Amino acid sequence: MVRDQKTSPQRLGGLVVGNYCHDVLIRDGVVVGETLGGAVAFISAVLDGISIPYNLVSKVGPDFAYTTCRSPIVIPTSRTTLFHAHFDSDVDGNGNGDRVLKRVTVCDPIRASDLDTESKFGFGMAVGVGGEIKPETLERMVDVCDLVLVDIQALIREFDEDGTVKLVGLKESGFFHLLPRLGFLKASEEEAVYMDVEEVRQMCCVVVTHGKEGCNVYWKDGELEIKPFEANQVDPTGAGDSFLGGFVAGLVHGLLVPDAALVGNLFGSLTVAQIGLPKFDSRLLQRVKDEVQRRKLQFTTSHERQDDELRFVKPAGHEQFHASLDAAKVIPTCIPQECQWDLPSPPPRAVEKAILPQYAGQPKLVLNSIYEEKLHTVEDKP
């Protein structure tokens, strides 16, 4: 469960663990964009935007195509994890079809020995997407972090022979015995069916996200519903990751769990309104930080005296805090043309060939060597 307030995540910086990825976005069989991916990319965008200090442990291959604020570990003999995200416009009427994820290449796992055991961290985030986090890695994280938050996708994802992502039950994942040592376990509503929420909530706090419906927080003796923020969804990729980043940012700034979950919902809504890795307006970020600071000051004295149970109760002014965060979204968060299925600032052509070597020399027709499926580039659209 959440540890004593004396070891709250405000005391030290954080440790974020998970591999960067190359993401290829494919709508109706057509490649429409390539972007930096992996949960750590989305979480870093939020934590950096809200000025949360943290260390990052991530592995990539020498083909890694992007510049990041925190350098990953480069494995000379490996390739960067690559995902194809297939979207089908016909799944629903508004063109926001569900994803089918396929892992094309995979980088080395992150092992316990890759973590800094000499330091102690206020919080840790286990946020793998390609099976890179192992049970012994998570166990080392709970040893060196006061509070550990885990995205369930890091625990229950497995992969078919063709790389298609599939999910297994949490009890069969090899991580179940570590749940009593976790602070929070986050899952989407689709992932939540792979665990018994009633059972897991007795061991750690569970947060289940519901997209445009907000989220629910479950703990041993209760549950609560957290309101969403409206969003024009164009790409669901990374929404849960941004939620988790915002949630952690709220906790680090001293907010109670319900208020921190509002910050998470806010960043989730901002992320789905953009394609790929979001770009947050600096003015919006400053307004969010100001509102969070004001909210923290309202409870500085009383918060220190609250026990673990009271940290989950919606405090007075919760609805007003939602309204103030909602008002911050009035500032434009992206240039309109960036909110199309046409990613801004794609990698150079030489880098594209490194990411997608099977595309090289075939600008009009792409043959995926792993799936044996034909993929057209966006220029082929009539």
The residue among 180, 252, 209, 205 whose CA lies nearest residue 15 is 252
Provide the token pair at 146. 């006061």
Is 241 catalytic? The answer is: yes
In this structure, the number of other CB atoms found within 10 A of the CB of residue 289 comes to: 16
From the candidates 241, 307, 326, 342, which is the catalytic residue?
241
Provide the token pair at 301. 């004295």
Cα(82)–Cα(80) distance, integer angstroms: 6
Asked if 199 contacts 224 with a C-beta cutoff of 8 angstroms, the reply is no
Phi and psi (nearest 5°) for 285?
A: -60, -40
Q: Which sequence positions are flagged as catalytic? A: 241
